[in-house]
C-alpha cells in the first residue's frame, strides 16, 4: 500500500487533491498502514518519507494565526515536494 500512499502524495503535489482533503485522508491512510504493520515492509527511505509526510500534514494549519512552526498550504506543499524529490535532510 505504500506505493498507493506515495501516489496519493504525488497527486496532492500535482494539485489534484485539495489540501484539507489530503491532510485528513493521508492521516487516516497512514495510520491504517501503521496499525496493520504494512509500514514495516517498506524500505527505510520510503518509510522515512511517509512518516515525514505524516508529520508535515499534522503541522498544517489553514488559519492566519498559526504558530511559526506550523505550515500554511504553500509551505506544506513546498516542504513535501522537497522530501518527495529525495531531500530528507540529516
Q: Structure pTM? A: 0.90
Residue with C-alpha cell 511517509? 50
Residue 38: partners with Cβ closer than 8 Å, 6 or more residues away: 1, 2
What is the spatial distance between Cα 49 and Cα 8, in angstroms, rounded to a whole number? 13
pLDDT band at 89; cut points 50, 70, 90: low
| Mean pLDDT of the region 23-42 | 92
Q: How far is CA 42 from CA 3, 11, 12, 49, 90, in A?
A: 9, 20, 21, 10, 20
Residue 40 pLDDT > 90: no
Break the chain into its structural domains and give their ranges.
3-85
Grade residue 88 by pLDDT with cuts at 50, 70 and 90.
low
> What phi-psi label fits residue 25: left (phi over 0), alpha (psi between -120 and 50 degrees) or beta?
alpha
pLDDT tens-digit map of 50-66: 999 999 999 999 999 99
Question: Quick one: pLDDT at residue 90?
Answer: 45
CATH architecture for the domain at 3-85: Up-down Bundle (1.20)
Amino acid at each position: 500500500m505504500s506505493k498507493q500512499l506515495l501516489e496519493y502524495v504525488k497527486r496532492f503535489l500535482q494539485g489534484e487533491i485539495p489540501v484539507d482533503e489530503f491532510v485528513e485522508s493521508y492521516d487516516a491512510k497512514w495510520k491504517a498502514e501503521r496499525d496493520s504493520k504494512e509500514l514495516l515492509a517498506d524500505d527505510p527511505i520510503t518509510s522515512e518519507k511517509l512518516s515525514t509526510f505524516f508529520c508535515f500534514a499534522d503541522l498544517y494549519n489553514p488559519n492566519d494565526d498559526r504558530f511559526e512552526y506550523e505550515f500554511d498550504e504553500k509551505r506544506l506543499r513546498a516542504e513535501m515536494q522537497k522530501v518527495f524529490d529525495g531531500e530528507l535532510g540529516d
